[in-house]
Amino acid sequence: MSEIVPKNEGKDQTSILLHKIEKGFVEGLFGLASSDRKDLILSLGYIFQRTRSSTFLKALLQEWERYKDKGRIKEDYISSEQHQQCLQEMLDFLDRDSPDELRFTFLKRIFLTAATEKISTRDSFLPQ
């Protein structure tokens, strides 16, 4: 079976982490799908929520990598406290019971805008 996660060559730690989380979502969904019928029926809501989270995560990953490829995010930004806190907030949001698209869109914009450091610096607490 081919690997879902692409080779990590040339990838920053955030891209690698987001790929691993996406792979974990997919593996979790396959695990639920192979459960017996009673467990599957009880898990349908969870499956729907994880599917939405996976879709949001994939959108975030694609946009993050596009910003990195264009040089809009400095290489050392991923080691900043601001990046770590904003990324954790995004991942916590995606792990909640019912992630909604409007809030995801705003969190993604804040996360990516902060990463470009055009409006604020990495020392600013505003994005957090």
Q: Per-residue pLDDT for the chain (128 aa), expressed as one digit of tens each?
A: 344 444 555 577 888 877 777 777 666 666 655 666 666 555 666 666 777 788 888 888 899 899 989 988 888 888 888 888 888 888 888 887 677 889 889 888 888 888 887 765 555 555 55
The pLDDT, as a whole number, for residue 13 is 81
What is the predicted pLDDT for the residue at 5?
41
Alpha-carbon torsion (39, 5, 70, 128), positive or negative: positive
pLDDT score of 25: 67
pLDDT at 4: 46
pTM for the model: 0.62
Which ranges in 34-125 belong to alpha helices (H)?
Answer: 37-69, 81-95, 101-116
Residue of 74, 75, 93 whose CA lies nearest to 85? 93
- Rounded-to-integer distance, Cα 70 and Cα 119, Å: 18
Q: Six-digit token pair at 44?
A: 């349908």
Tokens 């019912």 appear where? Answer: 98
pLDDT of residue 119: 60
